[in-house]
Amino acid sequence: MSSSLSFIDSRKLSVAPMLDWTDRDFRYLLRLISKHALLYTEMVTIGALIHGDRQRFLAHDAAEYPLALQLGGSDPAALAECARMGEDAGYSEINLNVGCPSDRVQSGSFGACLMAEPNLVAEGVAAMKNAVTIPVTVKTRLGIDEHDSYEFLTHFVDAVSAAGCNIFILHARKAWLKGLSPKENRDVPPLDYERVYHIKKDYPHLHIDINGGIHSLVEAQQHLQYVDGAMLGRAVYHDPYLLIDADERIFLQAATVKPSRHDVIEAMLPYIEQRMKQGRPLKSITRHLLGLFQGQPGARRWRRHLSENAHLGDAGIHTVQQALSLVDKV
């Protein structure tokens, strides 16, 4: 089920790391729809991996590959240790979060505030590169607060690429750390795609992926005229089936029989059964399935049945099958 493409080829289209959304259950769903799109975990902090239940945080299904582990943190030694854990667990890539618009946490800085410390990010990248053989990448913003000049961004790219990072994912917005919530930071700062294109033009030797406000494969294809990869986020969560043509249109793989939405759910049932045997509540899985029939006849009945029944004590595979029977086959 996983991709046969090279790692770099799989980067042409990816699905962003999204906290509380891109867990292993949602990623498994996406892999039933696209074999080749690169998938990302939710961000995992270095403190959680070093001091918490690392098996739970790193657990995934081999069917999810290609799959990147996103880390949050800034301590180079801890990042290196966590990168090794990720490689040992089978991940295809280690990604450092320098884009999340959160302030400091107890274990140190992480996210967009690190843009102000490019040398520290560079140290972290170098430490991870020395610790693993898989790619180490950085996801970042265009700037933070008043520091939003092109020169600020190039200074960051210069420092981090000198440490060995040759793959950058640029969210085409700056982050306001003062005054805007993480949610507001996803929409309020204006998009500046041209600046991302400019970076690719000035750094042709680097692999540049673009992220932010991309809602369709058509939009992704437009960006791919100027950069190396496009990363979709919330649009995929709310309508996972929009990836159904990705393997053919983005990755130029000969189309096999594309699964219908019904086929995707039928293929998901054995996985759901297995996960429930492991103790996963049905509602924790089905919440990721609600958008699959977006815009289709019966989509509301599908969502309502799962929302009203997946949490009940006797909920199981039959609950999903009953919901599926309420949706018209098209």
pLDDT the model gives residue 186: 78
13-15 and 67-72 as β-strands: parallel, antiparallel, unpaired?
unpaired
Token pair 């990448």 in the structure block, residue: 137
Find out whether 326 and 301 touch, Cβ atoms under 8 Å.
yes
Q: Do domains 7-248 and 261-325 have the same CATH topology?
A: no
Token pair 């045997």 in the structure block, residue: 277
pLDDT the model gives residue 105: 44
CA distance 64 to 271: 12
CA distance 240 to 299: 13
CA angle 271, 274, 280 (to 5 degrees): 100
Q: Is the pLDDT of residue 317 over 50?
A: yes
pLDDT the model gives residue 107: 43
Domain ranges, ordered by start, for the chain: 7-248, 261-325
- What's the pLDDT tens digit per position in 5-16? 777 788 999 999
Q: Does domain 7-248 have CATH number 3.20.20.70?
A: yes
- What's the pLDDT tens digit per position in 65-87? 999 999 999 999 999 999 999 99
Find the mean pLDDT for residues 139-165: 96
Q: Is the pLDDT of residue 1 over 70?
A: no
pLDDT the model gives residue 228: 98
For 208-211, the CB contacts below 8 A with 24+ separation are 208/168, 208/170, 209/11, 209/14, 209/167, 209/168, 209/169, 209/170, 210/169, 210/170, 210/172, 211/16, 211/139, 211/169, 211/170, 211/171, 211/172
Give me the percent of the chain exceeding a pLDDT of 70. 96
pLDDT the model gives residue 13: 98
Distance, CA of 208 to chain centre: 16
Q: Say which of 82, 100, 113, 165 is annotated catalytic.
A: 100
Find out whether 228 and 216 touch, Cβ atoms under 8 Å.
no
pLDDT the model gives residue 3: 64
Q: Is the pLDDT of residue 163 over 80?
A: yes
Q: Is the pLDDT of residue 45 over 90?
A: yes
What is the CATH code for 261-325? Answer: 1.20.120.1460
Is 165 considered catalytic here? no
Q: Is the pLDDT of residue 55 over 90?
A: yes
- What's the pLDDT tens digit per position in 256-279? 789 999 999 999 999 999 999 999
Give the SS3 label for residue 58: helix
**Least confident interval from 4-8, 88-92, 104-108, 125-129:** 104-108
- What's the pLDDT tens digit per position in 291-315? 999 999 999 999 999 999 999 999 9
Q: Is the pLDDT of residue 286 over 80?
A: yes
- What's the pLDDT tens digit per position in 173-182? 998 888 777 7
Higher local confidence (pLDDT), 184 or 258:
258
- What's the pLDDT tens digit per position in 198-239? 999 999 999 999 999 999 999 999 999 999 999 999 999 999
CA distance 185 to 280: 32
